[in-house]
């Protein structure tokens, strides 16, 4: 289990570094990220959310009921756009309306070092985009309207004063 970093912590604003070598340290990180994601019942978790600046994310694929690990991810195709409410483990009990692609294809490598190409649609596509944003230091609040920020002003203040 790892501590999930909350809004206001500087590491969430930093761009994660590419993983050059999948060694025991990276495997241990991935294992702990999976345990953390399962224990909090989340659908996605980026490495910088647990304090590590590496380009790794874990996503839960509800359709196939399995966890997906993507190292050094990049979006290679995207289609259709939809607006939906989106939350984040780093922003507990806060939701913003965010426009994202409904279908995305992500390329990266898995924990065995093999190249993978994964298609995501609907919630999984949203998750992929959300986690890649994290790896680039982009947060859901960056998409929020002034009205949404105002609505959550007190919760956001509490997060930043506790971090």
- How many Å apart are CA 80 and CA 82, to the nearest integer? 7
17 is known as an active-site residue:
no
Query: Which token pair is 69?
Result: 């690990």
Phi-psi region of 100 (alpha: psi -120 to 50; beta: other; left: phi over 0): beta
Angle at 109 between CA 1 and CA 60, to 5 degrees: 45
- Give percent helix, percent strand, percent coil of the chain, each to the nearest 5: 35, 35, 30
Residue 11: exposure state from Cβ atoms within 10 A (0-12, 13-18, ≥19): middle
Catalytic entry in 18, 74, 115, 131: 131
Residue count (the chain): 163
Is there a contact between 58 and 67 (Cβ–Cβ < 8 Å)?
Answer: yes
Active-site amino acid positions: 131
């Amino acid at each position: 289990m790892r501590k999930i970093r909350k809004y206001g912590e500087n590491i969430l604003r930093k761009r994660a570094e590419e993983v050059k070598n999948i060694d025991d340290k990276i495997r241990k990180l991935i294992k702990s990220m999976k345990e953390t994601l399962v224990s909090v019942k989340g659908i996605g978790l980026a490495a910088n959310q647990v304090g590590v600046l590496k380009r790794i994310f874990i996503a839960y694929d509800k359709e196939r009921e399995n966890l997906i690990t993507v190292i050094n991810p990049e979006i290679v195709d995207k289609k259709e756009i939809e607006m939906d409410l989106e939350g984040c483990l780093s922003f507990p009990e806060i939701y913003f309306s965010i426009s994202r692609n409904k279908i995305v294809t992500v390329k990266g490598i898995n924990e065995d070092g093999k190249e993978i190409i994964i298609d995501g649609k609907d919630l999984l596509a949203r998750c992929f985009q959300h986690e890649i944003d994290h790896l680039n230091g982009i947060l859901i609040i960056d998409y929020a309207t002034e009205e949404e920020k105002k609505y959550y002003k007190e919760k956001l203040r509490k997060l930043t004063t506790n971090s």
